[in-house]
A and B are shown apart, each in its own frame.
Chain A
Amino acid sequence: MRKESIKILVMSLFFVVFIIVGYILSLYITTLSSFIFLVWVLFLVMIFFFIIIFEDLSTVITRQLVHIASRRNKKHKKISDNSEYLSLFTHEMKNGISVIKGYVYMILNDEKLEKGLSDEVKKYLKRVDISSSKLISLTDNMLNFNKLKSGLFELNLISFSMSSILSDAKESFKGFAEEKNITIEYKNTLKDGEDIIKMDRFKIDEVVSNLLNNAINYANNNSTIYIKLEKKNADNILVSVKDEGEGIDDNDTLEIFKKFYRSSNNTKGGTGLGLYISKSIIERHKGRIWAVNNKDGRGGATFFFSLPVK
């Protein structure tokens, strides 16, 4: 209300000043005095209407803009509510899976406890561990997918050893590989320290897990999976995961990195998110990821990713 009355007061003052100026002008230009005064008043009336119309329009426009903004805010709020719920949900879920993995570890790594177990029980416990790891990986993919979708995806960069990620991954997938009698070999051709690069170590870990998981899924029984870490050029390191299995349909080597894409010869299940997320993670690191079918006659495919050293 206060604001409105100030506006009216200022407007009326302007009008009074304009009319006085018009009157004085008409006194000086005596020949056309009454005509000029009339034009002046008409001009003022036009401005007056123009202001009223403009005021009205601007209120409508403002109201509309506010409306759109609030709708957008609501939508944004909904997204962040969803991600928050998903974060809490996955937190609880992963805590639970960590407990399962933790106790399995304690049973299998305790001399006294382990002694009392038959080989069969040990085998089953290892399977519990493998399945738990798969669930965690699935949850991570879902979480990262949601973050990518809502624009909340961020990297936590630290200097970390790529070699230790790869050798750790080799160890954690050993049990899963043994189920198909697959051997995992790891070779590092980099010099000491050359493998330390800036990265989000847990997200790169996820990429390696996705690639290894796929490799084991698609590899033939009794085959070998080769992980290799090497120099691509002066500015990049190159990681490759090679399997001896059915390979990729030639039309699919690019398509498999797309969201929800399922290869036509896919017989192994999966969510169709792993490679898409891996690609997003690598690209956020300013690296590249791609796949080729092996041409050495033993079948299978090799997945590569390169990451900048600096």
Chain B
Amino acid sequence: MKQMDIKDKKILIVDDDLYLADIYSQFFTKKGFFVVSAYDGEEALDKASSEEFYFILLDIMLPKKRGIEVLKEIREGSSPSKNTPIFMLTTLGYDDIIKEAFSLGASGYIVKSTLSLDQIYDEIDSFFTGEKIITD
């Protein structure tokens, strides 16, 4: 079974909930990633523009700039993360926004309340290894 290439990979995790950001950051650090955190839309955009990430976890509901706008600006601009896989974090209930996110080039969406941390990891892993999920 193929594995996600983790070593020295930098990832960006964006969530305005400090505790959730902490949980994700600790979880992915333990897996071996180098985690950079951002807590609002503008900070996320700043960080995404400064360097290339392996993948980005991007919350939809963010202060200052909504997740969907951050996604749009990263995809449409000349950021080093322009082609980085971006997974939208949601709590379900924003079906129309998820549709919009896919049309703007999101790589997937993760319902953070439904999936356990291991399942979130598997979800991202299967994106890179091409198993389990085939997004449209």
Which residues of A approach B to under 8 Å, CB–CB?
86-87, 90-91, 94-95, 97-99, 101-103, 105-106, 136, 139-140, 143, 147, 152-161, 164, 168, 172, 196, 201-202, 205-206
| Chain B contacts for A159, CB-based, 8 A | 133-136
Interface residues of B in 16-56 (CB under 8 A from A): 17, 19-20, 23-24, 26-27
Interface residues of B in 108-123 (CB under 8 A from A): 109, 111-114, 116-117, 119
Distance between Cα atoms of A196 and B135 in the complex (Å): 12
B129 at the interface (CB under 8 A from A): no
Distance between Cα atoms of A140 and B27 in the complex (Å): 25
Which residue of chain A has its CB nearest to the CB of B111? A202
Q: Which of A101, A158, A205 has a CB less than 8 Å from the CB of B133?
A: A158
| Chain A contacts for B92, CB-based, 8 A | 90, 94, 140, 143, 202
Distance between Cα atoms of A242 and B114 in the complex (Å): 23
| Chain A contacts for B61, CB-based, 8 A | 91
**Known pairs A91-B91, A156-B95; A102 contacts B117 (CB<8 A):** yes
Q: Is the CB of B17 within 8 A of A94?
A: no
The 6 A-B residue pairs with the shortest CB-CB distance in the complex, in nearest-first order: A102-B23, A94-B113, A154-B95, A94-B91, A159-B134, A99-B19
Task: Tell me how many residues of B have a C-beta within 8 Å of chain A.
Answer: 30
Which residues of B approach A to under 8 Å, CB–CB?
17, 19-20, 23-24, 26-27, 61, 91-96, 98-99, 102, 109, 111-114, 116-117, 119, 132-136
Which residue of chain A has its CB nearest to the CB of B117? A105
SS of B interface (majority): mixed
| Chain B contacts for A136, CB-based, 8 A | 113-114
Q: Is the CB of A97 within 8 A of B113?
A: yes
Q: Is the CB of B134 within 8 A of A158?
A: yes
Q: Is the CB of B135 within 8 A of A158?
A: yes
| Chain B contacts for A160, CB-based, 8 A | 132-134
Which residue of chain B has its CB nearest to the CB of A100? B19
Q: Is the CB of B20 within 8 A of A99?
A: yes
Q: Is the CB of B113 within 8 A of A103?
A: no
Q: Is the CB of A102 within 8 A of B19?
A: yes
A/B interface sample: 5 pairs, CB < 8 A: A94-B113, A99-B23, A147-B93, A158-B134, A202-B111
Q: Which of B19, B94, B102 has a CB less than 8 Å from the CB of A103?
A: B19
Q: Is the CB of B99 within 8 A of A168?
A: no
Interface centre among A98, A136, A140, A154 (most CB of B within 10 A): A98
**Known pairs A95-B113, A168-B119; A106 contacts B133 (CB<8 A):** no
Q: Is the CB of A95 within 8 A of B20?
A: yes
Q: Is the CB of A154 within 8 A of B96?
A: yes
Distance between Cα atoms of A156 and B96 in the complex (Å): 9
Which residue of chain B has its CB nearest to the CB of A156? B98
| Chain B contacts for A87, CB-based, 8 A | 93-94
